[in-house]
């Protein structure tokens, strides 16, 4: 364990993935101590942190060890069992976001109920416990419908598009729900685009809203983010930011909150929540005054929040998904020579097909040019193109 310098606090993050890795960069500038809970020393964040607790996120002993000497516990994912967090809180450990808040990121059925009760616009939804209930829901809202496990999914896992009552019956009969999960049925929204609205919120209630971004999902994985969302009306942009601020206040979020939204002609609808730095905000490292990672740290430390302002007219972030190139580094020469303004982020993860292994960002005034450059770079790193 690293002894913190003087009175700078130590933030301990559950999870050793790329979100923790990028948070480590922000911690270096602020001078705050940063510790990660990683499953092994080769995890993305563990490669670049000195203060590492080895262990699993669902191991009470590991979580307790992580908390020793830390000023606040936070997360790079939502999968810590709530009762383990409650035990930390009962022992006087500061956990942000609070377990009572985090549960709405962990359980989509609880989230839907809470938001609907507060009048925050969501797709039509129902918890279904049988094939018949799913069929009734589909007949009511129209097929196809979405079926989701309320807990445990991410990056498109745990989400199915279901075209008929037969398909619903087959899924419910064969898929295995994680403990405490239920089936959540949702209408399949005819959206015009997908959006994400990110806010940072501190325990004292200060909040800042990042520009609303357009996200493109491919096979359930975020692949492209454009900030600000092109062509989004001021009315819908303000509505999206208001929804995010309202959700943050309603749930008492501390740290970053990402609200994924469907944009429709009738307004915006909440799709999913994440209470942590989120893929839709990676552009902020190179494209905003204050990155989402620094604002997450500032928020969980109850420091005043930094400006989320864009540094250019547009920012485009494209994820690098593992592809045919087993090694990313040899691609650097070509990419960096071709585009000296390209910002490359690589996570130190072993390349596997479809896995998020890095991202690229470009900022500037010509959106079409930025899109071409960012996609070229990501495709080249993935081995999809070779020139």
Interface residues toward a copy of itself, by CB under 8 A: 2-3, 5-9, 21-22, 24-25, 27-32, 34, 41-42, 46-50, 52, 208, 285, 289-290, 298, 303-307, 309, 311-312, 326-330, 332-333, 336-337, 340-351, 358
Nearest residue (CB) to a copy of itself, 111 versus 321: 321
Helices and strands (DSSP H and E) totals, the chain: 12, 17
- Least separation in angstroms between CB 385 and a copy of itself: 18
Secondary structure (3-state) at 361: strand
Closer of 48 and 250 to a copy of itself (Cβ): 48
User: In this structure, are residues 21 and 348 in contact, taking their beta carbons and an 8 Å threshold?
Assistant: yes
Give least dist CB 282 to a copy of itself, A: 11
CA-CA distances (angstroms) from residue 322 to 77, 186, 346? 21, 31, 11
Task: Give the residue from 115, 124, 182 showing the smallest Cα distance to 150.
Answer: 182
- If the CB atoms of residues 192 and 341 are measured against a copy of itself, the closer one turns out to be 341
Q: Cβ of residue 54: shortest distance to a copy of itself, in angstroms?
A: 13
Question: What's the closest the beta carbon of residue 206 comes to a copy of itself, in angstroms?
Answer: 9
| Shortest CB 127 distance to a copy of itself, Å | 41
Residue among 138 and 322 whose Cβ is closer to a copy of itself: 322
Token pair 């199915």 in the structure block, residue? 160
- Distance from C-alpha of 5 to C-alpha of 215, rounded to nearest angstrom: 40
Could you list the beta-strand ranges (E) of the chain. Answer: 10-14, 33-38, 51-54, 72-75, 125-128, 145-149, 159-162, 183-187, 193-201, 207-209, 213-218, 221-227, 255-264, 267-274, 314-321, 343-346, 356-364
> DSSP class of residue 17?
S
Classify residue 90 as exposed, middle or buried by CB count within 10 Å of its CB (0-12, 13-18, 19+): exposed
CB of 348 to a copy of itself, least distance (A): 5
Taking the C-alpha atoms of residue 308 and residue 102, their distance in angstroms, rounded to an integer, is 23
* Of residues 158 and 358, the one with the C-beta less far from a copy of itself: 358
Indicate the residue among 126 and 317 with the shorter CB distance to a copy of itself.
317
Tell the smallest beta-carbon distance from residue 67 to a copy of itself (Å).
Answer: 20
Cα(82)–Cα(90) distance, integer angstroms: 12
Which C-beta is closer to a copy of itself: that of 3 or that of 90?
A: 3
């Amino acid at each position: 364990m690293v002894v913190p310098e003087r009175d700078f606090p130590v933030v301990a993050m559950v999870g050793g993935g790329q979100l923790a890795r990028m948070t480590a960069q922000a911690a270096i500038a602020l001078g705050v101590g940063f510790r990660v809970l990683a499953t092994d020393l080769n995890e993305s964040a563990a490669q670049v942190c000195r203060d590492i607790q080895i262990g699993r996120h669902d191991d009470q002993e590991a979580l307790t060890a992580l908390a020793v000497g830390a000023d606040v516990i936070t997360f790079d994912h939502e999968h810590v069992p709530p009762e383990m967090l409650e035990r930390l809180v009962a022992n006087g450990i500061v956990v942000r976001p609070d377990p009572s808040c985090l549960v709405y990121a962990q359980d989509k059925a609880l989230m839907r109920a809470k938001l609907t009760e507060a009048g925050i616009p969501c797709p039509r939804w129902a918890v279904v416990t049988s094939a018949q209930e799913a069929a009734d829901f589909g007949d009511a809202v129209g097929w196809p419908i979405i079926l989701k496990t309320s807990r445990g999914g991410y990056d498109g896992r745990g989400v199915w598009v279901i075209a008929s009552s037969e398909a619903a019956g087959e899924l419910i009969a064969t898929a295995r729900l994680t403990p405490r999960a239920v089936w959540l049925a949702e209408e399949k929204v005819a959206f015009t685009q997908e959006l994400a609205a990110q806010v940072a919120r501190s325990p004292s209630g200060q909040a800042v809203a990042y520009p609303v971004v357009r996200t493109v999902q491919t096979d359930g994985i975020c692949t492209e983010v454009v900030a600000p969302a092109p062509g989004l009306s001021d009315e819908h942009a303000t509505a999206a930011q208001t929804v995010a601020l309202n959700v943050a206040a309603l749930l008492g979020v501390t740290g970053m909150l990402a609200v994924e939204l469907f944009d429709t002609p009738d307004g915006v609808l909440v799709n999913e929540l994440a209470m942590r730095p989120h893929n839709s905000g990676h552009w902020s490292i190179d494209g905003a005054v204050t990155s989402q990672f620094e604002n997450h740290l500032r928020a969980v430390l109850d420091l005043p929040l930094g400006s989320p302002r864009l540094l250019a007219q547009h920012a485009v972030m494209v994820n690098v998904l593992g592809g045919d190139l087993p090694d990313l580094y040899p691609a650097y020469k070509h990419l960096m020579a071709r585009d000296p303004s390209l910002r490359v982020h690589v996570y130190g993860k072993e390349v596997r097909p479809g896995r998020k292994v890095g991202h690229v960002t470009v900022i500037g005034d010509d959106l079409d040019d930025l899109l071409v450059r960012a996609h070229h770079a990501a495709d080249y790193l993935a081995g999809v193109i070779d020139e």
